[in-house]
Amino acid sequence: MRLRNKPWAKDFMEEHPDILINEDEEVVRDWKGIFNNENPIHVEVGTGKGQFIIGMALANPEINYIGIEHFDNVIVSALEKAIEAGKPSNLRLLRGNGAHMEELFKQGELDRIYLNFSDPWPKTRHAKRRLTHESFLARYERALKKKGEIHFKTDNRKLFEYSLVSISAYGMILQEVSLDLHVEMPEDNIMTEYEEKFSAKGQPIYRLEAMFNN
């Protein structure tokens, strides 16, 4: 993603602590307190400009959603969208690093993790940075309830091939696989910004659901 410099980003984020949380705030790890209910928690790692997580929050008010994004200049776009959407009470944006999941969530706290159009890190020496590398799967497994699920979409063929093998090698069970999601679009599919763009070009969108076998 091309990152434009947005010098106003920091101030703008600080003006909306009711929906945007920084990973170094003390409140982190008290998600039940933040949402003030016992509803299931679904997390998107790498939430980008937020179209997916905000759409999900609006469509499913009985589920709590947290969108994690590392880059200030990207998460401010998600923040703008969330404000436009009326700041749904079941949504929080978390400015932080997906690799820090151990500090961000208690063990077994989450019900589902979404990965959408993650950076493919095509070079083999960068494989560890892919969000479906075994080191990330181990973080997800810890943060998720037993038999927790990952839902993953991408347009990147090589990343999807890698992810199928990585997820299988980890001992996870593939529950759903689509190799051209938009041919038979599920009614409840909420598109990301990337998904709209690549799908409009006729590129296939790959999707899987996998369950930890623990």
- The minimum distance between CB 40 and a copy of itself, in angstroms, equals 24
Residues lying near a copy of itself in the complex (CB under 8 A): 157, 160-161, 164-165, 168-169, 172-180, 206, 210
Return the number of the residue (1 or 177) whose C-beta is nearest a copy of itself: 177
Nearer of residues 27 and 177 to a copy of itself, judged by Cβ: 177
Distances (CA, A) of 81 to 52, 55, 84: 11, 10, 5
196 marked among binding-site residues:
no
3-state secondary structure of 43: strand
Closest distance between a copy of itself and the C-beta of residue 209, in Å?
Answer: 9
* 55 vs 204 by CB, closer to a copy of itself: 204
Q: Please indicate if the annotation marks 111 as binding a ligand.
A: no
- DSSP classification of residue 150: E
CA distance 116 to 98: 13
Residues with active-site annotation: 119
Residues whose CB falls within 8 Å of the CB of residue 42, separated by 6 or more in sequence, listed in order: 56, 63, 64, 65, 66, 110, 111, 112, 113, 114
Evaluate whether 183 touches 123 at the Cβ level (below 8 Å): no
Which residue ranges make up the annotated binding site? 44, 69, 97, 119, 123, 155, 192-195
Which residue ranges make up the annotated binding site for substrate? 123, 155, 192-195
Which residue ranges make up the annotated binding site for S-adenosyl-L-methionine? 44, 69, 97, 119
